[in-house]
Amino acid sequence: MESTSGRAAAEAFEVYVQALTEVIGHADRAEPLRDYCTGLIMPVARKSVEPLAAVTAPARVSAKHQSLLHFVGQAPWSDEALMGRVRDWTLPRMVERGGPITAWIIDDTGFPKKGKHSVGVARQYCGQLGKQDNCQVAVSLSVANEGASLPVAWRLYVPEIWLDDPERRQKAKIPDEIVFQTKPQIAIDQIRAALTAQTPVGVVLADAGYGADGEFRRELSDLGLVYSVGVQPTVSVWRPGEGPLPPKIWTGRGRPPRLVQRSKDHKPLSAKALAESLPAEAWKTVTWREGTNTELASRFAAVRLRVASRDYNLPQPRAEEWFIVEWPEGDKEPLKYWLSTLPETTTLQELVAVTKMRWRIERDYRELKQELGLGHYEGRGWRGFHHHASLCIAAYGFLLSERETIPPSGFAIAQRCEEPPVPRGSRSRKSADKAATPHLKLDRHAA
């Protein structure tokens, strides 16, 4: 018998789907929207279109397959509108349970691919594999508090070789307005859109793939945002209390000098060199959160300094900011480096706690991939890639909003059906997926 909490969750799901339907256009999209999200939540090992059709309509798989295929691959509904509605629905519930939004997390994730025809596929770094390989890569922005995090923006990174090839663009139906952008540039566009949508603001967190880009950091500051982002050990910095020399004294000839300068005896050093020169008393052991089996702790130092990179092209020194270093006890050299514009009064404990919140994006990706099939879409086009991701995030948003009401035994609508037999023709894909990605139970109650 279905539990009271299970019925409540199922009713909440219907209300949620109705709210999403309002922003995707035609009323006839309500049913495929409901079915697609239902299938994503259900315990199906492979969450591409055909298995979703089989699990949601086992008596008419072929017709449902065509319906879902058109809905996700061709129907011209707006991903931005759908994700905006997910954001507006989920964030108030996140804040109610976990407190105010404290972080905006930028990151990217890869999807290994065997062929070369899926949109954006190229040989590039794939985080899932930890190496260069054939894959797609998408950039996302997640909004987080102490209790949860939610992706609010999602965009495929398209290499230049795709955008410079008219035939490839046409086959994948890449919109004409899409031009080449680096990942940090895509992230800045996502951040601008989030600000325009009046999304509750948090400290921007990102790894060195973004933080090492000086233009990315400058854009964040120009937008009035505070950041704590990773940088490379080679980034050029001034020692605490130092900065570039003032412009040369004007001799009365030509234009007055206006750019700061450095000299043979007064020059910056690398982040790694500075970290290694810090005194022993600068290093403190900091615990930042509970891990799976134990508290997570390491050794950190933080000092105020100015970044020196190409500042000889500037009329004045850059503003001071925090330079944070992690150097675990016993390691031969520092492990990670960050720059942060958090206030000067911020304690080391607070700096570490905020900076380390970036781990939440890893949880988002893990649950979206392993539990909701984010990487299972088998179409090749731009629209289908983004539609599938938006629907996965919509399903994830519902699970986040209902964490306290979903019974440990599973979501109510998923309990009504058993996993169907493998649809004809999909056995090899499913078997390969099981071998590549073990299916884990979604922890709907953990922070």
Read out DSSP for 383-403?
HHHHHHHHHHHHHHHHHHHTT
Q: Is the pLDDT assigned to residue 437 strictly greater than 90?
A: no
Residues 111 and 151 grouped into a single domain: yes
Residues 52 and 195 grouped into a single domain: yes
> Which whole number is the average pLDDT over 396-417?
61
Establish if 447 belongs to a structural domain: no
Q: Is the pLDDT assigned to residue 434 strictly greater than 90?
A: no
Buried b (16+ CB within 10 A) or exposed e, 119-140: bbbbeeebbbeeeeebbbbbbb
Torsion region of 130: left, alpha or beta (phi above 0 gives left; psi -120 to 50 gives alpha): left
Q: Which pLDDT belongs to residue 278? A: 97
Quote the DSSP letter at residue 135.
E
**Which range is least confidently modeled, 121-125, 352-356, 404-408, 418-422?**
418-422
Q: Which pLDDT belongs to residue 258? A: 84
Element (H, E) at 275: helix 271-277
Residues 13 and 82 grouped into a single domain: yes
Q: What is the pLDDT of residues 49-74, one digit of tens each?
A: 999 999 999 999 999 999 999 999 99
| 238 within 8 A of 275, measured Cβ to Cβ | no
Q: Which pLDDT belongs to residue 301? A: 98
Establish if 346 belongs to a structural domain: no
**Which range is least confidently modeled, 3-7, 121-125, 262-266?**
3-7
Establish if 429 belongs to a structural domain: yes
Q: Which pLDDT belongs to residue 259? A: 86
Residues 144 and 27 grouped into a single domain: yes
Q: How far apart are the first and last CA of the chain?
A: 29
Q: Nearest CA to 189 among 210, 163, 166?
A: 210
Q: Which pLDDT belongs to residue 204? A: 98
Confidence label for 2 from pLDDT (cuts 50, 70 and 90)? low
Helix or strand or coil: residue 206?
A: strand
Q: What is the pLDDT of residues 363-391, one digit of tens each?
A: 889 999 999 999 999 999 999 999 999 99
Residues 163 and 90 grouped into a single domain: yes
Kindly give the pairing relationship between strand 321-326 and strand 203-206: unpaired
Establish if 284 belongs to a structural domain: yes
**Which range is least confidently modeled, 307-321, 334-348, 391-405?**
391-405
Establish if 263 belongs to a structural domain: yes
Of residues 302 and 427, the one with the higher pLDDT is 302
Share of the chain above pLDDT 70, in %: 88
3-state class percentages of the chain: helix first, strand second, coil last, to nearest 5? 40, 20, 40
Q: What are the start-end ranges of the H helices in 278-426? A: 348-355, 359-370, 382-401, 412-415
Average pLDDT, the chain: 87
Residue matched to tokens 């997926």: 433
Residues 192 and 261 grouped into a single domain: no
Residues 163 and 100 grouped into a single domain: yes
Residues 294 and 425 grouped into a single domain: no
Residues 327 and 370 grouped into a single domain: no
Residues 200 and 310 grouped into a single domain: no
Give the domain range for residue 250. Answer: 234-333
Q: Report how many domains make up the chain.
A: 2
Q: What is the identity of the amino acid at 377? A: Y
pTM: 0.87
Residues 44 and 156 grouped into a single domain: yes
Establish if 351 belongs to a structural domain: no
Confidence label for 443 from pLDDT (cuts 50, 70 and 90)? very low
Q: Is the pLDDT assigned to residue 441 strictly greater than 50?
A: no
Residues 308 and 417 grouped into a single domain: no
Q: What is the pLDDT of residues 197-236, one digit of tens each?
A: 999 999 999 999 999 999 999 999 999 999 999 999 999 9
Confidence label for 292 from pLDDT (cuts 50, 70 and 90)? low
Establish if 414 belongs to a structural domain: yes
Establish if 125 belongs to a structural domain: yes
Q: Is the pLDDT assigned to residue 293 strictly greater than 80?
A: no
